[in-house]
Amino acid sequence: MRPVLLVASALWGVLRADAFYLPGAAPHDYVLGEQVALFVNALTPKLMNGEDNRLKSMINYDYYNPKFRFCQPEEGPIKQPESLGSILFGDRIFNSPYKITMLNDNRTCQTLCTVHDVTGEEAKFINDRIKEDYELNWLVDGLPAATMKADTRNGEVFYDQGFNLGNYDAELQSPPSLNNHYDVMFRYHKPTPNTFRIVGVLVWPSSIGGSQTEHATCSHELSVPLVLSETHNQTIRYTYRVTWNESDTSWATRWDNYLHILDPRIHWFSLINSIVIVVFLCGMVSMVLVRSVSRDISRYNAIDLSEDVQEDWGWKLVHGEVFRPPQNVMVLSVMVGNGAQLCAMVAVTLVFALLGFLSPSNRGSLATVMMVCWSLFGGIGGYISSRVYASLGGTNRRKNSFLTATVLPTIVFMIFFILNLCLLIAGSSGAVPFGTMLLIVLLWFGISAPLSAIGSYFGSRKGAIEHPTRVNQIPRQIPPGPKYLRPWSAALLSGILPFGAAFIELYYVLTSLFASRAYYAFGFLALTAGVVTLTTATVTILFTYFILCAEEYRWHWRAFLTGGGSAFWLFGYGLFYWATRLSLDSLSGVVIYLGYLILLTLVDFLATGTIGFLASYWAVRRLYSAIRVD
């Protein structure tokens, strides 16, 4: 009886919402008077809400960048350990001089420090950052300090990560003012009378001008804002006041306030838009392919009783050509292999995200999982590349295996290196440190490459895929086809549909990548990815059918291009986003944005091109194994 009870109570514990913890997020129980560590992260530019607001910079700055002149801890800044993904995404976490202890000093005004001799040059640097809408990012017990905001749509209150460095309104023409006072509210939950858990950190920053040396008051209502002079030295006093506020929010649900989806209607609209596109496409495909193909096949295969010589027409004409190896088999197979590796990475990462493993309290877990998956799926890349290579008649297997394992990582790494150089020159803290670079090289060339070689070995042992028809000795002449079937116009035309299914979600992804907005709508993202896959595959099959009907048998490269067509639209959309949502003054900002955009486009091109190619390959084999060739 007792084991049953134990199991039952364990099950009950798992099912109860507040007993379910995501991995790596066990609660920290504070006792009364225990020190609460406050960490500071890099300052980031923010895209303010509003129609015509623009993101003004691409660069993160260390909190302890000497030009900010923020108060330093007595023992000096100490860097905190971080995960790989967290470093790649620009987190630079340090300790801070704030002395906060659980439930003490409730609402007392405290001076953090007074900074003397802030020069005009430093003041100008700070003022420029205020004009660029920079935000401070603090972390307490894994939670980001946030500003309390109300959703304009339904008045729901939510926590928006980060808070303003200063205040500036370009329209009012008033000078920027620096926030030198922070009203911090810690919301705590009491699971038992003597344990306390932090479930929310809110900051109301304000600017207190006037004399910076007299007794601190912490009341900003009566004072003028602190405007820094860019011509002479000045003193800045930093003050803060802590409020402890008890909350009903339990530890398990403490992130809910942060993960507010601003306008779910837009995501739903995007989803419905994609589903309409898919239904429309499936309708078209079933009409065109299923009906006409089955009609074609039954006509081709009909036994001609009258013994008249039957004229062949349509796609059957090229049965002796479709499996003729294309040009540059090596390049194509390497691209397909790498594309397959990327697809597998995206799919598994999305599954992880959907299952809730990428908890926001594990900072950078998304990027870490992506990097690790990419490395581990080297085997898939090698296997598919070598099989495609063999099937298309390639013979230099070693070279294929080598190129699959090295070319893409090298290209990506080179772009990454240039971006890093730009960040370094711009004085940004977002530049990835040397040790992390080394770790990435190790991950790619130490894990991914050997796995890719092993995959290649198994792929070439398995050998080529059998083709249903034989290739003629002498190539056929190709009649001129219609304009819309030329490779580039086909790519652009076919790219519209997958892009159209994804572009609304894409806006949010770009905004979270570049404007440090949190993105947690993984459910929507996964569905959108599914729709894009389906759309890309069907559109490419459709176009391949059309070109075969036009007696153009060089379909391999066209299928890849047609599948990857959405990447061109993605690039165009990135430029549009730049024109409408960003206003980058510095050259380094432009280079960094374009660099990331090119990386994104490249990844999209390889992934969707691979989907298109493999889907067409499958369809062509099916098509030609259904007909009787004499």
Ligand X SMILES: *[C@@H]1O[C@H](CO)[C@@H](O)[C@H](O)[C@H]1NC(C)=O
Q: Which residues contribute to the site for ligand X (CB under 6 A)?
A: 103, 106-107, 117, 119, 233, 243-245
Q: Are 61 and 43 in contact (CB under 8 A)?
A: yes
Nearer to ligand X (CB atom), residue 242 or residue 619: 242
Give the residue among 276, 273, 277, 290 at the shortest CA–CA distance from 535: 277
Instruction: List the structure tokens of 446.
Output: 């130490």
Count CB-CB contacts under 10 A for residue 507: 15
What's the closest the beta carbon of residue 119 comes to ligand X, in angstroms?
A: 5
Instruction: List the structure tokens of 355.
Output: 């299952």
What's the closest the beta carbon of residue 127 comes to ligand X, in angstroms?
A: 17
What's the closest the beta carbon of residue 201 comes to ligand X, in angstroms?
A: 13
Query: What gap in Å lies between CA 245 and CA 36, rounded to an integer?
Result: 15
What's the closest the beta carbon of residue 71 comes to ligand X, in angstroms?
A: 15
Nearer to ligand X (CB atom), residue 245 or residue 410: 245
For 259-287, b where at least 16 C-beta lie within 10 A, e where not — what string? ebbbeeebbeebbebbeebbeebeeebee
Half-sphere exposure of 204 (CA within 13 A, CB side): 13
Instruction: List the structure tokens of 235.
Output: 């003193």
Nearer to ligand X (CB atom), residue 227 or residue 288: 227
Say which DSSP state 433 is in. P
What is the separation, in whole angstroms, between the first and last Cα of the chain? 74
What's the closest the beta carbon of residue 156 comes to ligand X, in angstroms?
A: 13
Nearer to ligand X (CB atom), residue 196 or residue 499: 196
For 425-459, b where at least 16 C-beta lie within 10 A, e where not — what string? ebebbbbbeeeeeebbeebbbeebbebbbebbbeb
Nearer to ligand X (CB atom), residue 194 or residue 410: 194
- The 3-class SS string of 209-234 reads CCCCCCCCCCCCCCCCCCECCCCCCE
The CA-CA-CA angle for residues 269, 273, 279, to 5°, reads: 140
Q: Is 28 in a helix, a strand, or coil?
A: coil
Nearer to ligand X (CB atom), residue 80 or residue 249: 249
C-alpha distances (whole Å) from 425 to each of 421, 428, 592 are 6, 8, 11
Nearer to ligand X (CB atom), residue 102 or residue 496: 102
Nearer to ligand X (CB atom), residue 60 or residue 180: 180
Give the residue among 358, 371, 337, 282 at the shortest CA–CA distance from 607: 337
Instruction: List the structure tokens of 280.
Output: 């429309």
Query: What gap in Å lies between CA 453 and CA 402, rounded to an integer?
Result: 7
Give the residue among 349, 355, 354 at the shortest CA–CA distance from 374: 349
Nearer to ligand X (CB atom), residue 246 or residue 263: 246
Q: Is 150 in a helix, a strand, or coil?
A: strand
Query: What gap in Å lies between CA 446 and CA 440, rounded to an integer?
Result: 9
Give the residue among 501, 519, 371 at the shortest CA–CA distance from 446: 371
Residue with tokens 């930093």: 238
Nearer to ligand X (CB atom), residue 69 or residue 387: 69
Nearer to ligand X (CB atom), residue 32 or residue 275: 32
What's the closest the beta carbon of residue 517 comes to ligand X, in angstroms?
A: 24
Give the residue among 597, 596, 519, 513 at the shortest CA–CA distance from 45: 513
What's the closest the beta carbon of residue 586 comes to ligand X, in angstroms?
A: 26
What's the closest the beta carbon of residue 376 comes to ligand X, in angstroms?
A: 45
What's the closest the beta carbon of residue 357 comes to ligand X, in angstroms?
A: 31
What's the closest the beta carbon of residue 616 comes to ligand X, in angstroms?
A: 57
Q: Is 133 in a helix, a strand, or coil?
A: coil
What's the closest the beta carbon of residue 578 comes to ligand X, in angstroms?
A: 38
Nearer to ligand X (CB atom), residue 117 or residue 630: 117
What's the closest the beta carbon of residue 362 comes to ligand X, in angstroms?
A: 27
Length of the chain: 630
Nearer to ligand X (CB atom), residue 36 or residue 350: 36
What's the closest the beta carbon of residue 427 comes to ligand X, in angstroms?
A: 19
Specify the amino acid at residue 25.
A
